[in-house]
């Protein structure tokens, strides 16, 4: 396969300085002014790289998703699936990937028209699911995650050529400061921060438990936080966070007795199909970076 040029070099042996992103943040639809996102929300997303919607889903919708999540976590056959990630210490389910293929109910969430209309407004194209997962983060046991850009990994290890992609995270439990909520560095999506260090084959087998490659250097994090600060949107179950594929984010350990569960899915533009990975030999498995472009159809 003739790859598109590598516009975002990373995982090299030597350090490369951060640089401004080469892609728009908003691929503005011609009739974007008609919504659903207001001009203020569009400007906020453009400048900060995320949008937060408290109580986006109703209590009834959350209850249905939560019971589906519980059913999946109790399905012991799934625990041995390739796309299940277990907590290193306890063996409990940490994440289940490709949730939209495991569950019709979760498949429908990814095709929620209220979400898709926002995604179309921002990306101005049809989309497909690049990755999806349920995160359990059980009480006391959920470990944290270092600062990283998802795009940096999807580019280097999956071959995603450009930044025309965004993630959606919906909480299914209350998010508090004590159960390891997602933290973001507002504005960090406007830069590409190359990470240092050649990446071994099959890195994903260990990186899902503790990321070692694809972690920006501390000096870069320092000036990015000095510019944009850190935020951690918190709120009741059913709240939704849309964030740009290149926004730096992290999470801390869950120190509370309560789980921090959410569903996470990634909309990639159908015009941004995966190439060969830019920094590794083999692409990661289908459940981490899908190569089946199945254009989503709204449905509820």
Name the site residues for a copy of itself (rule: CB under 8 A): 139-140, 144, 147, 177-178, 180, 183, 218, 221-222, 225-226, 230, 232, 250, 252-253, 255-257
In the complex with a copy of itself, the residue whose CB is nearer, 106 or 191, is 191
In the complex with a copy of itself, the residue whose CB is nearer, 41 or 256, is 256
Handedness of CA 192, 215, 154, 102 (dihedral sign): negative
Query: Left, alpha or beta for 68 (phi > 0: left; psi -120 to 50: alpha)?
Result: alpha
In the complex with a copy of itself, the residue whose CB is nearer, 171 or 290, is 171
- Tell me if 276 sits within 8 A of 159, measured CB to CB: yes
Compute the least distance from the CB of residue 60 to a copy of itself, in Å.
26
Compute the least distance from the CB of residue 134 to a copy of itself, in Å.
22
Identify the H or E element spanning 228. helix 218-228
Compute the least distance from the CB of residue 47 to a copy of itself, in Å.
21
**Alpha helix positions (H), 3-153:** 39-48, 59-73, 99-102, 104-110, 113-123, 150-153
Compute the least distance from the CB of residue 215 to a copy of itself, in Å.
10
| Residue carrying the six token digits 């709120």 | 235
In the complex with a copy of itself, the residue whose CB is nearer, 139 or 283, is 139
- Tell me if 164 sits within 8 A of 21, measured CB to CB: no
Compute the least distance from the CB of residue 251 to a copy of itself, in Å.
8
In the complex with a copy of itself, the residue whose CB is nearer, 209 or 256, is 256
In the complex with a copy of itself, the residue whose CB is nearer, 142 or 194, is 142
Compute the least distance from the CB of residue 123 to a copy of itself, in Å.
30
- Tell me if 206 sits within 8 A of 138, measured CB to CB: no
For residue 169, what are the β-bridge partners?
241, 264
């Amino acid at each position: 396969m003739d790859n598109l040029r590598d516009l975002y070099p990373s995982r090299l042996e030597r350090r490369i300085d951060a640089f401004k992103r080469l892609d728009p943040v908003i691929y503005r639809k011609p009739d974007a002014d008609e919504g659903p996102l207001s001009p203020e929300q569009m400007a906020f997303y453009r400048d900060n790289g995320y949008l937060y919607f408290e109580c986006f889903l109703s209590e009834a919708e959350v209850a249905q998703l939560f019971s589906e999540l519980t059913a999946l976590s109790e399905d012991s056959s799934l625990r041995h699936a390739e796309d299940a990630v277990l907590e290193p210490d306890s063996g409990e389910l940490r994440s289940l990937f490709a949730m939209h293929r495991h569950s019709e109910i979760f498949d429908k969430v990814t095709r929620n028209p209220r979400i898709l209309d926002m995604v179309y407004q921002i990306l101005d194209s049809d989309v497909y699911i690049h990755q999806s997962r349920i995160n359990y983060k059980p009480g006391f046991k959920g470990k944290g995650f270092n600062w990283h850009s998802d795009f940096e990994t999807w580019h280097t290890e999956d071959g995603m050529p450009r930044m025309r992609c965004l993630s959606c995270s919906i909480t299914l439990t209350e998010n508090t400061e004590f159960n390891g909520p997602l933290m973001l560095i507002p504005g960090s999506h406007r830069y590409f921060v190359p990470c240092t260090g050649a990446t071994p084959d099959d890195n994903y087998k260990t990186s899902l438990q503790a990321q070692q490659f694809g972690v920006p250097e501390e000096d870069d994090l320092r000036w990015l936080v000095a510019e944009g600060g850190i935020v951690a949107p918190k709120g009741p179950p059913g709240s939704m966070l849309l964030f740009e594929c290149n926004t730096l984010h992290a999470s801390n350990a869950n120190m509370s007795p309560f789980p921090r569960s959410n569903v996470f899915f990634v909309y990639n533009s159908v015009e941004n199909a995966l190439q060969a990975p830019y920094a590794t030999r083999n692409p990661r498995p289908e459940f981490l970076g899908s190569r089946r472009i199945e254009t989503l159809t709204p449905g509820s």
